[in-house]
């Protein structure tokens, strides 16, 4: 299953148009890997036949299926660990002290994929801040892919996904076994609101977020798109709020409105006063 350069360039343009994701010129193998199941499902003979179908019709459900198949969905429970430690030991105590019960805390997980990140935060709240877990914190999780959002809402994970980062005690506390899958309990699932969102073209109507997770997202955008996304984040980040990026990402040379902070090995950002 191979793709020629002309078809691959069309696919790169489609990805850029719909998701703003920059697909590097050396990633043809990724298209071949990720689109092969769709070619098989449609009983087509080649990737070229799939691309021809896309090129001969206006934007359709098929275009969206192709883009969603190409989107990277790498995630895990308590990924990298250190940000969650910083939230539990430093950030939430600070926010609770600042709020003094005036309003609930708002948390946004952008590009949430299949839901492990927001559910990790929900479990963290239940374990360390049970007084906040229900009703005092709004957990919003967004993603471009409707397919991933449907999966996230189900809260059902394989043994391999469970083994990646989830402590055994949390597995016992918040999941029950369902055949070959582990089903997250309703008390955690109900804490998270999942919503479809394009980070570049869509806007949030909420006022301010106290914690924003935008981890391992900016690396797939070009410089101008990174600046545009950070500007949107800036508009909805509370003056006392905290922004988390991926370990290989930074606001440096993109937006000087943010200052970098650190707690142990966790790096995060605040708006400059």
The CATH architecture one would assign to domain 5-70 is Orthogonal Bundle (1.10)
Bridge-based pairing of strands 209-214 and 105-109 is parallel
DSSP state letter for 208: -
Give pTM, 2 decimals: 0.91
List, in sequence order, every beta strand (DSSP E) within the chain.
105-109, 137-143, 156-158, 175-178, 181-184, 192-196, 209-214, 237-245, 258-263, 266-271
Using a 10 angstrom Cβ sphere, with 0-12 exposed, 13-18 middle and 19 or more buried, the burial of residue 186 is exposed
Phi, psi of 62 (to 5 degrees): -65, -40
- Say how far apart CA 86 and CA 17 lie, in whole Å: 36
The structure tokens 């691309």 sit at: 51
In sequence order, which residues have a C-beta less than 8 Å from that of residue 149 and are 6 or more positions away? 112, 143, 194, 195, 196
CATH superfamily label, 82-271:
Vaccinia Virus protein VP39 (3.40.50.150)
Instruction: Beginning with the edge strand found earlier in the chain, give each strand of the sheet holding 181-184 in spatial order.
Output: 156-158, 181-184, 175-178
Mean pLDDT by 10 residues, the chain (273 residues): 91 93 91 94 94 91 92 88 97 87 85 96 95 86 94 96 95 93 96 95 86 95 96 94 95 97 97 92
User: Where does CATH 1.10.155.10 sit in the chain?
Assistant: 5-70
Domain with CATH 3.40.50.150 in the chain: 82-271
- In whole angstroms, give the CA distance from residue 242 to residue 26: 35
């Amino acid at each position: 299953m191979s793709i020629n350069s002309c078809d691959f360039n069309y696919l790169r343009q489609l990805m850029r148009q719909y998701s703003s994701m920059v697909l590097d010129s050396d990633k043809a193998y990724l298209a071949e890997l990720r689109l092969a199941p769709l070619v098989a499902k449609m009983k087509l003979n080649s990737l070229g036949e799939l691309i021809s179908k896309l090129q001969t019709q206006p934007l359709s459900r098929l275009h969206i299926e192709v883009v969603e198949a190409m989107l990277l969905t790498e995630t895990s429970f308590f990924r990298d660990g250190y940000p969650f430690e910083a939230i539990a030991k430093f950030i939430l105590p600070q926010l609770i002290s600042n709020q003094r019960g005036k309003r609930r805390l708002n948390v946004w997980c952008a590009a949430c994929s299949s839901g492990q990140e927001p559910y990790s935060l929900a479990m963290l709240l239940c374990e360390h801040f049970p007084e906040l877990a229900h009703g005092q914190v709004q957990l919003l999780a967004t993603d471009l892919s409707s397919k991933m959002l449907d999966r996230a809402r189900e809260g059902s994970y394989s043994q391999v996904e469970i083994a990646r980062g989830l402590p055994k005690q949390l597995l016992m506390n918040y999941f029950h076994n369902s055949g070959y899958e582990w089903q997250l309990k309703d008390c955690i699932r109900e804490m998270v609101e999942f919503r479809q969102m394009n980070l570049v073209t869509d806007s949030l109507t909420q006022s301010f977020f106290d914690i924003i997770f935008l981890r391992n997202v900016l690396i797939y955008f070009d410089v101008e798109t990174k600046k545009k996304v950070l500007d949107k984040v800036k508009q909805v980040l509370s003056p006392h709020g905290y922004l988390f990026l991926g370990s290989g990402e930074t606001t440096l040379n993109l937006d000087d409105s943010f200052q970098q902070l650190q707690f142990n090995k966790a790096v995060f950002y605040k708006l400059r006063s």
